[in-house]
Structure 1
């Protein structure tokens, strides 16, 4: 599935506010859907790039030879899920913001994994 189809599928997750595919080397979004007046996805993508980079530096400093599957940030009203794609597909992550009152976090993570598996870059 192409980027647009993948983002649309991620937006179908119950409680989705917005979704982006982001290159964490450049901090640029390859595509976004949603956000509306609730969330500026370009700013969120750039900010979450720093989160991913920091976590990767920390793993390297600790000598942990493993990969990050996802990073979860919980806010009072929202969940933010950062799902890293395998490195053989570039320096990319899917970023999904969810309304916490309507979302099922386990299903959202499962859905993002399915999107990741079918995404063609």
Structure 2
């Protein structure tokens, strides 16, 4: 049973969270989302390219490793992209208000949420 909506609601409870989504990195489609302030369809498509590029680079370098998360720091926001280990091709995307979020706690919570995801 899928709990994507519950996962998105949980992500939105992180201090400073503005928006969150579960994204298919094969297509760039949003599987579930919530929040405001960001066009999540557009952001998901763009960040899919970021995830794909990093995965391609890791493969090209012959690294035997995986992406835990990708952090994009903007002037007013943090964007966390976290590939979902047990569901290859999916990632969690969270937008945080930089002035309200605790980055270390947010990353920890995103990890916990990833581990709870069932599809």
TM-score by length of 2: 0.96
Aligned residues: 118
Aligned pairs for 1:74-89 (under 5 A) are: 74-86=73-85, 88-89=86-87
For residues 61 and 116 of structure 2, the distance between their equivalents in structure 1, rounded to whole angstroms, comes to 32
**Which 5+ residue runs of structure 2 have no aligned equivalent?**
none
Return 5+ residue gaps in structure 1 as ranges.
none
CA distance in 2 between partners of 1:10 and 1:55 (Å): 24
Q: CA deviation at 1:65?
A: 1.4
Q: Distance in 1 between matches of 2:67 and 2:38?
A: 25
2:105 — aligned with what? Answer: 107
Q: Which residue of 2 aligns with 1:32?
A: 33
- Trace 1:1-121 onto structure 2 (pairs within 5 A): 2-35=3-36, 38-86=37-85, 88-121=86-119
**Which aligned segments of 4 or more residues in structure 1 are displaced greater than 3 angstroms?**
none
CA RMSD of aligned residues (A): 1.0
